[in-house]
Chains A and B, each alone.
Chain A
Amino acid sequence: MLLKGESIKINSKEVLFSVLNSYSQIFFSTSKVLAVSLLIISFFDYGAGISGLISVLIANFLAHILGYNKYYLKSGIYGFNSLLVGLGVGLLFQPSLPLYLLVAVTAVSCFFFTIVFQGILGKYGLPFLSIPFLITIWIVSLSADQLTALNISERGIYTYNELFGLGGHTMVKLYDWLEKLVDSSFIRIYFYSLGAIFFQKGLLAGIIISLGLLYYSRITFALSILGYSVSYLFYNLVGIEFNSLIYTFIGFNYILTAVALGGYYLIPGKTSYLWIIVLLPSVVLFTIGTDQVFRQFHISPYSLPFNMVVLMFLYALKLRERRPADLHETPVQMGNPEKNLYLQSGNMKRFPSRYPVAASLPFFGEWEVSQGHNGEFTHKDAWRNAWDFIITDKDGKQFKGSGDFPEDYFCFGKAITSPFDGTVEELVNTIADNKIGDVDTRNNWGNTIIIKHSNEIYSKLCHLKYHSIEVKEGDRVKQGQLLAKCGNSGRSPYPHLHFQFQSKPYIGSPTIDYPFGHYLLREEKYSFETFSIPQKGQLVANPMKNELLSKALHFIPGQKITGNLEEVSLKTGEIIKKEAFLWEVNTDPYNTSYIESKGEKAFAYLYNNGSLHYFTNFIGEKDNPLFWFFTAFFKVPLGFLPDSRIQDQLPLNFMFGGILKFLQDFFAPVYLFLKADYVLEFKKAGDILSSEGLTMVSSLTKRIAGRETGKYIHTINIKESGHIEIEITNRDTKIRIACRSEQ
């Protein structure tokens, strides 16, 4: 519903985009080049072309006037099913006024099917694919015989006549030339099948579509060939007549299934490709089977097999309990398989979605891991994924004096804190501490606290000091809150903390292989570890927050940032570019924060969990100052870490283009030879009160097959006032960016 005074006016650009995207959306794309080529193909038959266009306009107009989601409207989600219906109906009958009227009517009903299926399937997080189209086109096909005022189309019978009408002699010649050129039936049927998606017969449409696909995405193109080849092999293997695909509109099912599952709804990769090979034979069987049934009604199953298999598989994947690392549903749809892959391949390492709990170490100061996972003493079998922590001095000794009393041990009586927010599930507080060397095997775990962090993740802290627990069952605890003191109760010959993650709330439950969210590892220098498992003998500590850095990188929705950029040529010393900019922090409906460059359509998406700041994605032109901000602060620990470093990798599509990236796209699901390494080092981290500014250097190194080919160095200064200055140098230029928050 529109509010009073709210304008329903839209500009012509939005109308154009919503129409074009309705075309490319058939291949899950919003590529304008692909859209234009598809639009042209649709007009190979002007009746069908006009019908298609009418349908799209009607559907989009309805979506607009009835007030459906603008974003979906613009990306063509509401239009593409009606488009398919329009094309299909337009080809069914001879062009005439009643036909266009029929098209309009079907477009309306198809639009409402679209809305209904979006609503129903959306609840399960599933796409509605082309189901609205299927239902509408079946209804029309079934009633075709009764629509006597409309003449059943005679097209496809007098091919040359039609071609002549379309483009005169040239067109006829081109057709003949192509027919002669491509004489392998394997290739011919591939192009026919592609063309069939747009109800086109003949090679030309298929060739144009395949070029459009190649331009839009190498992975999609490769997948279309893979899906087609697998089904071809299966046809031959089980002895189905393959050539029949030339005159039925069903060969594209294999291509669409491969494109949808192999690279769009799932992150493309070896595993997704493998699943295409596994699934396509069943698509073939579905196709043959449904075709036999639908033949009784003189209609085609069209894309029914594709819809069934894709929806079934996606729904089945959603019901998984575990998410194996190599078969992932696309978390943020970038609308392009390559972008999805490059973003995900980095983000998989950066934010393993398997780890919803980012636990800190459950103590203050530096402790040593005395027994790690699969330890030699007690961390075995079901309890193998646990840690024992002690405190040692610089000579590795864990006690002072003779070590005959628990009090001699450095860790005894030290504060034990909550590793993460949660609820105290169960606790034992009444078991006496052992004398040194004694073990209490009857009360194996000693005094224990179990905290529930999520439905599947609990942490258990054991061998606590007698009567030292300061929380009660049912208490909500926060990360870092004091829970108890380290002790020597239970099966503990000397004081230590036993810590484990488990999936059940009971004392004695088996452990799970789950990492700590972030911690400092002390070797020669400090390194910042994320989602890692401390190993035996390592010295670990919680990072301390740097107030200045935390404040500078704490972006609040509504916050405005102003600044300016200056680019200087290193050769001539001339100022090449000078500009001022205004950024604004915002959040999207998914509650993701981003910085927007006002008026420039550039967005840098970010994530801050209190210990780390990440930029997760960038959308927009790369010559925008916001892009340099994005690369400079790609990943920044907010901890107080003089002289430490952290590493990461930028999605490669941000740093590479042209032929190299074109080649990489083909191999991307299997192997990445292009890399953009990110390293951040703290040069001057200020002090514990953050009373001085700080200096960091982040560098971006472009590598081709391991060889360095370019390097960007960002020197970042954060002033005490919170002002940020970044100086970026590469081979030719030096860019200076200064920005500050508006008060």
Chain B
Amino acid sequence: MEKIKYEKPVINKISAGVPSKFGLPVKQKIISDIDGIKVSTLMEKYGSPLFVISERTIREVFAEAKRAFETRYPKVQFAWSYKTNYMDAVCSIYHDEGSWAEVVSGFEFEKALSNGVNGSQIIFNGPDKSETDLTMAIEHNACIHIDHFDELYLLIEISRKINKKARVAIRVNLDAGIYPIWDRFGFNYENGDAWNAINRIMLAENLELIGLHTHIGTYIMVSSAYAIAASKLANLYMAVHRKFDYWLKYIDLGGGFASKNTLKGAYMPGTETCPSFDEYAEAISNALISSEIPHENLPVLFLETGRALIDDAGFLLTTVLANKRLNSGRRSTVIDAGVNLLFTSFWYNLGVYPSKEMSGGAEESTIYGPLCMNIDVVRDAIVFPHVNTGDQLVIERVGAYNMTQSMQFITYRPNMVLIDMEGKTHIIRKKESLETFKQQELNPKR
């Protein structure tokens, strides 16, 4: 008979609900493999910490979103939000699924072009578009979403200078019944700025207005807000037709769909509270179909969903560096991935899970990152089992923003790996080394 392992006794403070005499049972979830590949195998091969992206999940989630919209609305086009994750390997998968590219800078524009995206299938958003960027966008026949009047004037000037028509849409901000209203981007609907901008564009010689765009916010947890936004854009769409006898080509409702992550301060987990693609799709298509627009003139519906599509496909594998009992008596764990890699840990209570079955009870703990900085807290309160130094952990739902927003600070950024449809692993970005920096740095003192 095998010797039973010793477990330290733990005293848990009972804090909420009506417990049984055994306290609150916590069933610990574990993630031992990703797409059938053992976490230990991955880390052995590619080191720790390690970003892992699952192509299977990307394609499955995309198919779900696509089905949700295409079975409710006749003309739907997704555009991959580059800023959410612009790793070339990731973008290529979305383009392969038929997505266009949605970019917000000259850099992203160039990246989309280098990924083989046709210029006319790039949507150029954002407040920062230089003269060079705009010239490039016009030359490539991109869809330029104008953010402010100064950009509009610049665009009129450039298109006249290079004597080429620019295909444009305007970004509209509006009151969709949610807080905050993102009125810093685009032209306001309620005060008439948007209508004003439309009129100026329609009369401008070298601009062709083809669409209307809005992006009401991020992590929107009520689908009805999209219905309000869609019907306001539909009003503008009809107004353009009435005044100019012209049908715009599309309405772009941007992104902002919530992923299944749990926001800090939320009472219930995101998996329970966030609307599904079906709910967003239902709200948006109902609003458009039941609007004044005749059904044979319905616009193409563009969606720039980023987070909700990719969050589930990303994992960060990390290793326990140390366990510590804080002065307050609270247990804490230090891991080798911190806020330098997990930008979203500022917003979310990220799910951190062991990669193997842990015996013993769980205890409320704090998980710290490896940085020598006080702010480096991955989770400040999590009921977590007793892990040991060297144990491998998995942080789930980190596909959105973390890979592109991870920063090089104090230490090198790690390998990023893609697991393809056949279950093969590929490095999609190499771990940094001193060489990486020496290439970029210049030292006049030597």
- Cβ of B419 to closest chain A Cβ, rounded Å: 18
Inter-subunit contact B70/A481 (CB<8 Å): no
A343 in the interface, Cβ–Cβ < 8 Å?
no
A478 in the interface, Cβ–Cβ < 8 Å?
yes
Inter-subunit contact B121/A687 (CB<8 Å): yes
Knowing A480-B295, A480-B296, A544-B75, the reply to whether A691 touches B67 (Cβ < 8 A) is no
Knowing A364-B72, A480-B296, the reply to whether A393 touches B67 (Cβ < 8 A) is yes
Inter-subunit contact B120/A691 (CB<8 Å): yes
- Cβ of B397 to closest chain A Cβ, rounded Å: 19
Q: How far is the CA of A363 from the CA of B74 in the complex (A)?
A: 9
Inter-subunit contact A415/B120 (CB<8 Å): no
Q: Specify which of B64, B72, B75, B121 is in contact with A414 (CB 8 Å cutoff).
A: B72
A542 in the interface, Cβ–Cβ < 8 Å?
yes
- Cβ of A106 to closest chain B Cβ, rounded Å: 61
Knowing A364-B72, A364-B73, the reply to whether A415 touches B67 (Cβ < 8 A) is no
B210 in the interface, Cβ–Cβ < 8 Å?
yes
Inter-subunit contact A692/B285 (CB<8 Å): no
Inter-subunit contact A692/B74 (CB<8 Å): no
Q: How far is the CA of A499 from the CA of B64 in the complex (A)?
A: 25
B323 in the interface, Cβ–Cβ < 8 Å?
no
Inter-subunit contact A689/B70 (CB<8 Å): no
User: Considering only CB atoms, which chain B residue lies closest to A414 in the complex?
Assistant: B71
- Cβ of B286 to closest chain A Cβ, rounded Å: 9
Within 8 A of A (CB), among B391-412: none
B70 contacts which chain A residues (CB < 8 A)? 364-366
Q: Specify which of A391, A393, A410, A413 is in contact with B282 (CB 8 Å cutoff).
A: A413
B249 in the interface, Cβ–Cβ < 8 Å?
yes
A482 in the interface, Cβ–Cβ < 8 Å?
yes
Secondary structure of the A contact surface, majority rule: loop
A142 in the interface, Cβ–Cβ < 8 Å?
no
Q: How far is the CA of A692 from the CA of B167 in the complex (A)?
A: 12
Q: How far is the CA of A7 from the CA of B397 in the complex (A)?
A: 85
Inter-subunit contact B71/A689 (CB<8 Å): no
Knowing A391-B67, A478-B295, A478-B296, the reply to whether A689 touches B72 (Cβ < 8 A) is no
A365 contacts which chain B residues (CB < 8 A)? 67, 70-72
Q: How far is the CA of A365 from the CA of B120 in the complex (A)?
A: 24
A431 in the interface, Cβ–Cβ < 8 Å?
no
Q: How far is the CA of A480 from the CA of B71 in the complex (A)?
A: 13
Inter-subunit contact B167/A480 (CB<8 Å): no
Inter-subunit contact A689/B300 (CB<8 Å): yes
Within 8 A of B (CB), among A469-520: 470, 478, 480-482
B141 in the interface, Cβ–Cβ < 8 Å?
yes
- Cβ of A2 to closest chain B Cβ, rounded Å: 42
B143 contacts which chain A residues (CB < 8 A)? 689
B154 in the interface, Cβ–Cβ < 8 Å?
no
Knowing A480-B296, A482-B295, A692-B120, the reply to whether A391 touches B71 (Cβ < 8 A) is yes
- Cβ of A96 to closest chain B Cβ, rounded Å: 74
Q: How far is the CA of A365 from the CA of B76 in the complex (A)?
A: 10
- Cβ of B394 to closest chain A Cβ, rounded Å: 24
A322 in the interface, Cβ–Cβ < 8 Å?
no
B63 in the interface, Cβ–Cβ < 8 Å?
yes
Q: How far is the CA of A478 from the CA of B295 in the complex (A)?
A: 9
- Cβ of A17 to closest chain B Cβ, rounded Å: 47
Q: How far is the CA of A234 from the CA of B143 in the complex (A)?
A: 79
Q: How far is the CA of A547 from the CA of B70 in the complex (A)?
A: 19
- Cβ of A690 to closest chain B Cβ, rounded Å: 8
B100 contacts which chain A residues (CB < 8 A)? 687
Knowing A415-B285, A688-B300, A689-B249, the reply to whether A480 touches B74 (Cβ < 8 A) is yes
A363 contacts which chain B residues (CB < 8 A)? 71
A411 in the interface, Cβ–Cβ < 8 Å?
yes
User: Considering only CB atoms, which chain B residue lies closest to A642 in the complex?
Assistant: B98
How many positions in chain A have a CB within 8 Å of any CB in the partner chain? 26
Q: Specify which of B73, B77, B290, B295 is in contact with A688 (CB 8 Å cutoff).
A: B77
A394 in the interface, Cβ–Cβ < 8 Å?
yes
- Cβ of B146 to closest chain A Cβ, rounded Å: 17
Inter-subunit contact A691/B295 (CB<8 Å): no
Q: How far is the CA of A547 from the CA of B297 in the complex (A)?
A: 11
- Cβ of A644 to closest chain B Cβ, rounded Å: 15
B371 in the interface, Cβ–Cβ < 8 Å?
no
Secondary structure of the B contact surface, majority rule: mixed
Q: How far is the CA of A713 from the CA of B258 in the complex (A)?
A: 51
A470 contacts which chain B residues (CB < 8 A)? 290
Q: How far is the CA of A481 from the CA of B295 in the complex (A)?
A: 6
Q: How far is the CA of A542 from the CA of B75 in the complex (A)?
A: 11
Inter-subunit contact B72/A688 (CB<8 Å): no
Q: How far is the CA of A687 from the CA of B101 in the complex (A)?
A: 13
Q: How far is the CA of A27 from the CA of B72 in the complex (A)?
A: 60
Knowing A480-B295, A482-B295, A688-B300, the reply to whether A411 touches B67 (Cβ < 8 A) is no
B295 contacts which chain A residues (CB < 8 A)? 478, 480-482
B250 in the interface, Cβ–Cβ < 8 Å?
yes
- Cβ of B355 to closest chain A Cβ, rounded Å: 26
B285 contacts which chain A residues (CB < 8 A)? 415
Inter-subunit contact B67/A542 (CB<8 Å): no
B118 in the interface, Cβ–Cβ < 8 Å?
yes
A692 contacts which chain B residues (CB < 8 A)? 118, 120
Q: Specify which of A478, A480, A691 is in contact with B141 (CB 8 Å cutoff).
A: A691
- Cβ of A386 to closest chain B Cβ, rounded Å: 21
User: Considering only CB atoms, which chain A residue lies closest to B77 in the complex?
Assistant: A688
A391 contacts which chain B residues (CB < 8 A)? 67, 71
User: Considering only CB atoms, which chain B residue lies closest to A364 in the complex?
Assistant: B74
Q: Specify which of B73, B120, B210, B296 is in contact with A687 (CB 8 Å cutoff).
A: B120
B87 in the interface, Cβ–Cβ < 8 Å?
no
Inter-subunit contact B72/A415 (CB<8 Å): yes
B72 contacts which chain A residues (CB < 8 A)? 364-365, 414-415
Q: How far is the CA of A394 from the CA of B67 in the complex (A)?
A: 10
B71 contacts which chain A residues (CB < 8 A)? 363-367, 391, 410-411, 414-415
B289 in the interface, Cβ–Cβ < 8 Å?
yes
Per-position 1/0 for B373-389, Cβ under 8 A of A: 00000000000000000
A394 contacts which chain B residues (CB < 8 A)? 63
Per-position 1/0 for A408-427, Cβ under 8 A of B: 00110111000000000000
Inter-subunit contact A415/B289 (CB<8 Å): yes
Per-position 1/0 for B56-87, Cβ under 8 A of A: 00000001100100111111010000000000
Inter-subunit contact B210/A544 (CB<8 Å): no
User: Considering only CB atoms, which chain A residue lies closest to B66 in the complex?
Assistant: A365
Best-buried of A365, A410, A481 by chain B (most CB within 10 Å):
A365
Best-buried of B67, B71, B167 by chain A (most CB within 10 Å):
B71
Give the B-binding residues of A (Cβ under 8 A).
363-367, 391, 393-394, 410-411, 413-415, 470, 478, 480-482, 542, 544, 547, 687-689, 691-692
Known A415-B72, A687-B120; further 18 A-B contacts with Cβ < 8 A: A364-B70, A364-B74, A367-B71, A391-B67, A393-B64, A393-B67, A410-B67, A415-B71, A415-B73, A478-B296, A480-B296, A481-B295, A544-B74, A687-B121, A688-B300, A689-B249, A691-B120, A691-B167
Sample 19 A-B pairs with CB under 8 A, ordered by A number: A364-B70, A364-B72, A365-B71, A366-B67, A367-B71, A391-B71, A393-B64, A414-B71, A415-B72, A482-B289, A687-B77, A687-B120, A688-B75, A688-B77, A689-B120, A689-B249, A691-B120, A691-B121, A692-B120
Closest 5 CB pairs of A and B: A365-B71, A365-B70, A691-B120, A688-B77, A414-B71
